[in-house]
């Protein structure tokens, strides 16, 4: 096995991936534990992952009821997994211009232009894991309790 990346390199690679990635996987569950997984457009604003979905969607209902999510991006040999909680929820029509414009610029579409009851969820990372294969399984946490480790 080769030596894995340093913690500092994994953090930098994680931030770079979050800044360039427009779509990721969002896993939620209802209060009975029934899981739901869906691909969503997302914007990393430097502190939070922001997603947009319809207020009646299963993802929104699960986030409203449990307040937690797991997000994933990358490929099986270059994984980033984020455990997050809902920092806030705001309807798209009530969002300030900075949020709406930032999201649209990052993901390439604007929920403000779509009919329906859309909402933004600002998700606060609590734990982020980043690893490339078995070489980096040990020490894969780059964030714990909402704080970067490097």
Q: What is the pLDDT of residues 102-117, one digit of tens each?
A: 999 999 999 999 999 9
Please state the separation of Cα 115 from the chain's center in Å.
24
CA distance readout (Å), 83 to 53, 67, 100, 127, 128: 19, 11, 24, 5, 6
Q: What is the pTM (predicted TM-score) of this model? A: 0.95
pLDDT at position 2 over 60: yes
In this predicted model, what pLDDT tens digit does every residue of 5-27 receive, in sequence order?
Answer: 999 999 999 999 999 999 999 99
Structural domains in the chain, sorted by start = 7-132 (2.30.110.10)
Average pLDDT of the residues in 41-53:
98
Tokens (6 digits) for 113: 């232009």
Tokens (6 digits) for 41: 């457009």
Helix (H/G/I), strand (E/B), else coil: 44: strand
Q: With contact defined as beta carbons under 8 Å apart, do 7 and 55 qualify?
A: no
Q: What is the pLDDT of residue 106?
A: 97
């Amino acid at each position: 096995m080769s030596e894995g990346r340093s913690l500092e390199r994994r953090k930098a690679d994680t931030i770079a991936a979050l800044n360039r990635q427009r779509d990721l996987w969002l896993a939620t569950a209802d209060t009975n534990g029934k899981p739901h997984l869906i691909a969503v457009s997302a914007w990393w604003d430097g502190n939070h992952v922001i997603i947009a979905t319809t207020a009646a969607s299963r993802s929104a209902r699960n986030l409203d009821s449990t307040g937690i999510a797991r997000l994933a991006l990358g490929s099986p040999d270059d994984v980033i997994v984020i455990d997050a909680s809902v920092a806030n929820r705001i309807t798209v029509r009530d969002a300030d211009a900075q949020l709406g414009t930032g999201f649209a610029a990052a993901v390439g579409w604007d929920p403000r232009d779509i009919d329906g009851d859309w909402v933004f969820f600002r998700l606060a990372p609590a734990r982020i894991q980043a690893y490339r294969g078995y070489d980096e399984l040990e020490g894969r946490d780059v964030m714990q309790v909402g704080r970067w480790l490097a």
